[in-house]
Amino acid sequence: MNDLKLITIEQICQLLQLKKSNVRSKILNRKIPHIKLGSSIRFDQTEIYNWIESQKREVKND
């Protein structure tokens, strides 16, 4: 089985250097991968790192 490591919204805020309200907005708009466990929101650490990588934009050389 995959070594699943779940992290909290507070940890995501720290990792992404975003306010909690910004992260919650991304959750509501399904812009960030998350897992809902009852009334709790958690994030798969590996999925988040993959998501961060997917957000990169190529640099154009002029």
40-50: pLDDT as tens digits: 999 999 999 99
- Among 2-6, 15-19, 27-31, 52-56, the minimum mean pLDDT is found in 2-6
In angstroms, the CA 61 to CA 21 distance is 35
Q: Which two tokens stand for residue 22?
A: 């910004």
Phi, psi of 44 (to 5 degrees): -80, 120
What is residue 29's DSSP assignment?
A: T
Please tell me the total number of residues recorded for the chain in this structure.
62
In tens, the pLDDT along 21-34 reads 999 999 999 999 99
**Domain boundary assignment for the chain:** 6-54
Q: What is the pLDDT of residue 22?
A: 97
Task: Say whether pTM exceeds 0.85.
Answer: no
